[in-house]
A and B are shown apart, each in its own frame.
Chain A
Amino acid sequence: MAEPAVIEVENLSKHYGPVRAVDGVSFTIVRGATCALLGGNGAGKTTTIAMLLGLLLPTGGQIRILGEDVPRHRQRVLPRMNFSSPYVDLPQRLTVAENLTVYARLYGVRRVRERLAALGRDLDIDVFFKRPYGSLSAGQKTRVALAKALLNEPEILLLDEPTASLDPDTADRMRRILTDYQRQSGATLVLASHNMSEVERLCDQVIMLRAGRIVATGAPRELIHRYGRKDMEEVFLDIARGIQSGEVVE
């Protein structure tokens, strides 16, 4: 039996005056899928993610997550989602443990200490629990941000550049943590990434955006085959540069 859709986006758009940051985008993501939103700078990835989170109000279209209309009932969905991005920070002066405690309480996590201890072990961040967040390296911050995103064991996890600024070893470990988490929880992952090997390894669905519109969708292997390229890196370059146009999804 097919998995139910947990994210349904229909004709979504965001306009800033004459600029169409997102322009009539429609897609569906089923439970347990890992979907990548890809595209060059300004393609509309972050805008789309911000609208999925309810942080940005759409100009038009519909977003339903876990059966709820996000712009109208985001408060019902947010406890079941989470988000991590290196471009959104946590308070610098608070220690890692304090930051995670505050967010655990905001998300209504029941056994805060046990949850923090488990995440500390899994993400190898317990050694700097007592250090101010601002004193951590970029890679350490990314791991703490991921811990924050996993606090409430979200059914839907949105990740913006999940392994940016991590060394290859740590990035590989993070990817393993994400796939383990997904396997255990059945969560749906949506990520924006510029790392194409990561996309090939993690994702079973890709949505390619260009100038606010979807220009191609499919599994990574399908896209590689359709574009006649050897990997996603080349497919990405083709689409981002508009050298070879993909199918336009209505």
Chain B
Amino acid sequence: MNGISARRIGALALRYLYLLRSSRIRVIELAYWPTVQMILWGFITRYLASHSDVLNRATGLLLSGVLLWDILFRSQLGLSVVFFEELHARNLAQLLISPLQPIELIIALMAISLVRTVLGVGIAVLLAIPFYGFNLFSLGLPLAGFFLNLLLMGWAIGLLVSALVLRYGMGAESIAWAAIFALAPLCGIYYPVATLPAWLHPLAWALPASHVFEGMRAVLLDHTFRLDYMLHALLLNVGYLGLGIGVFLATVQQARERGSLLQSGE
């Protein structure tokens, strides 16, 4: 395999930035849903805070949950939806006959996913300060670890979903939206994993996000940083991201064998 080229990755990232720049509506849409979620859960928090001991102890619990969840959701969507753009535009074959390597395509997708996530969730995070007096950055340094782990998990799912769509066509596109919501109940975003039935615990602990949200609760409720949660999440992410990259690359190779790259599109 030839070396990975930063120039080619930059070129493709530029293509995605051009795409983002081409529509203001798209930029607004990036921040729209995280902001709506933040506003909704902010009011719910205000209401429940007067009825709940837990929320009294840490009023930011639900808002932190919803904003961190959006990091996971946006990073997954930011990768897979941009990949779908290539299929819709019938541009994938053009890219793959250029010197661009599939691994460079993956890295460029990750880079644009990071930009889209920061743009989308960042605005909601900043708006939460004047709206509810809640600052997500009050989580301190652990926030960087939470962000990284959720980003990596989002990329892993995004790559698996993209591989599915490359294999089965645009009909499988709805999986991009549905996949992550199927995992949401297991992630313990708004409640501890212990709340789930015992038989679901192994599944929940197999998800990096569950460790992140438990870690978040430890910071907010117990004011302690649980390094064990962080490391577990990171270790799982290394495995899942490796799997995502491997499956995506194998699917591109399989598409080369099946001849579906020339026909990829609507």
Contact = CB atoms under 8 A, between A and B. Distances in A.
Contacts of A148: 94
Interface SS majority for chain A: mixed
A108 B15 contact: no
Contact of A56 (B2, B23, B262): B262
A90 B91 contact: yes
Interface stretch (A98-106, A119-127, A172-180, A205-213): A98-106
B256 to A, nearest CB: 5
A78 B170 CA distance: 28
B99 interface: yes
Contacts of B7: 105, 108
Contacts of A87: 262
A147 interface: no
B19 interface: yes
The interface size bin for chain B is 20 to 34
Nearest to A75: B2
A31 to B, nearest CB: 21
A57 B22 CA distance: 36
B96 A55 contact: yes
Contacts of A56: 256-257, 259, 261-262
Size class of A's contact patch?
35 or more
Given A55-B93, A88-B94, A107-B98, A93 B22 contact: yes
Interface of A: 14, 16, 21, 46-47, 50, 53-57, 75-76, 78-79, 81-83, 87-95, 98, 101-103, 105-108, 132, 148
Interface of B: 1-2, 7-8, 10-12, 14-15, 18-19, 22-23, 85, 89-91, 93-101, 253, 256-259, 261-262
Contact of B14 (A83, A92, A102, A107): A102
B8 A106 contact: yes
21 contacts: A16-B259, A50-B262, A55-B261, A56-B257, A56-B259, A75-B1, A78-B99, A89-B91, A90-B94, A93-B23, A94-B15, A94-B19, A98-B18, A102-B18, A105-B7, A105-B8, A106-B8, A106-B95, A106-B100, A107-B98, A108-B8
Contacts of B96: 55
Contacts of A89: 89-91, 94
B98 to A, nearest CB: 5
